[in-house]
Amino acid sequence: MDFYIVIPCHNEASFIKKTLESLVTQTLPAKKIVVVNDQSTDASGEIITAFAKAYTYIELLDITSSDEHLPGSKVIQAFHKGYVTLDDNYDIVCKFDADLIFPSNYLETIAESFEKNPKIGMAGGFCYIEKNGEWVLENLTNKDHIRGALKAYRKECFQEIDGLKAAMGWDTIDELLAKYHGWEIITVDSLQVKHLKPTGNTYNKAAQFKQGEAFYRMRYGFLLTSFASAKLANRKGNYSLLKDYLHGYFRAKRSNTKFLVSEKEGEFIRKLRWDGIKSKLSL
């Protein structure tokens, strides 16, 4: 299977070399890798340029976007800039972060998963972070969710969900819409990816409100948003976030913020989410 990879990058000089080293040594090499350098002020550009000179399938794309670092919109806008430079001759398209070290069999194992089951639309491994000299699971989400840092999409699935939404929550919306269209999502336990930079450590205060806005834009409704917000605050060990998430939800509702999914898709999403909650409560 032919893999195209797009990597948004902003001031990742401390990590991007290791990421690219792990990708050029894959047992199944990617056909194309585009690294989108979003106005980095460190040595990221020089490092990427060196790889592009050494490997013909690696390209550097320099762009300029907003200086504000909000999760979702900035990174996906950068991804889109890279994606539109690609042709259509791929089987799998990946959105990877610039601070990861992939095991050498990552792409090969992902390809095997897609080949075994034509209903699989998205696949990925798991992020591990270093704590006290050991690499442990970065446990921020359920294990059936693919982290936004390492998403791989079958072309047909990617096209059917109309790509990625440039908004916080994009890496949940893509999976919900994939399921809406009948695709399966899988995670592969054996694929342990080293995540070199903790998630969310550069997000500003406004990002906390954006999470509640994301729930609104996914048409969760108030009650489901409350459940989801409480769960997320608990997972992050900061219950004050619950207030921020709900504030963001109501702020979006008051301003009639544009939804990211249709009414029919929203109905499917709410049912899917409530069914999941009910199944866990019945255990």
What are the pLDDT digits (tens) for 222-244?
999 999 999 888 888 888 899 99
DSSP structure class, residue 258: P
**Residue where one domain finishes, among candidates 137, 167, 195:** 195
Cβ(2)–Cβ(91) below 8 Å? yes
| pLDDT tens readout for residues 131-147 | 989 999 987 667 889 99
Residues 47 and 179 in one domain: yes
**Residue where one domain finishes, among candidates 173, 195, 217:** 195
Mean pLDDT of 192-197: 94
Q: How confident is the model at residue 207 (pLDDT cuts 50, 70, 90)?
A: confident
Number of separate domains in the chain: 2
Cβ(47)–Cβ(13) below 8 Å? yes
Name the least confident of 62-66, 90-94, 103-107, 172-176. 62-66
- In this model, does residue 198 exceed pLDDT 80? no
Q: What is the pLDDT of residue 69?
A: 54
Q: How confident is the model at residue 206 (pLDDT cuts 50, 70, 90)?
A: low
What domain range includes position 101?
3-195
Mean pLDDT of 69-84: 85
Token pair belonging to 6:
């797009």
Residues 122 and 61 in one domain: yes
Residues 260 and 183 in one domain: no
Name the least confident of 81-90, 167-176, 235-244. 235-244
**Residue where one domain finishes, among candidates 168, 195, 222:** 195
What average pLDDT does the structure give for the chain? Answer: 92
More confident residue, 204 or 211: 211
Residues 125 and 46 in one domain: yes
Q: Give me the CATH number covering residue 149.
A: 3.90.550.10
Residues 98 and 176 in one domain: yes
Residues 216 and 105 in one domain: no
Cβ(56)–Cβ(27) below 8 Å? no
- Is residue 253 in some structural domain? yes
Residues 161 and 257 in one domain: no
Which residue, chain included where needed, has tokens 């999403």? 269
CA gap 161, 175 in Å, rounded: 9
Q: What is the pLDDT of residue 73?
A: 81
